[in-house]
Amino acid sequence: MPRFSANLGFLWTDRSLPEAIRAAARAGFAAVECHWPYDEDAGEVAAALSETGLPMLGINTVRGGAGEFGLAALPGREVEARAAIEQAVAYAMAIGAQAVHVMAGKVQGPAARAVFLDNLDYACGLAGQQGITVLIEPLNQWDAPGYFLQTTDQADEVIGALGAANLKLMFDCYHVARQEGDVAVRLERLLPIIGHIQFAGVPERGAPELGDLDYNALFRTIDSLGWSRPLGAEYRPEGDTRDSLGWMTALG
Positions annotated as catalytic residues are 137, 234
User: Which of 120, 200, 130 shows the shortest CA–CA distance to 168?
Assistant: 120
CA–CA dist 84, 61 (Å, integer) = 6
- The phi, psi pair for 214, rounded to 5°, reads -80, 95
CA–CA dist 69, 149 (Å, integer) = 11
DSSP 8-state assignment for residue 211: S
DSSP string, 107-135: --SHHHHHHHHHHHHHHHHHHHTTTPEEE
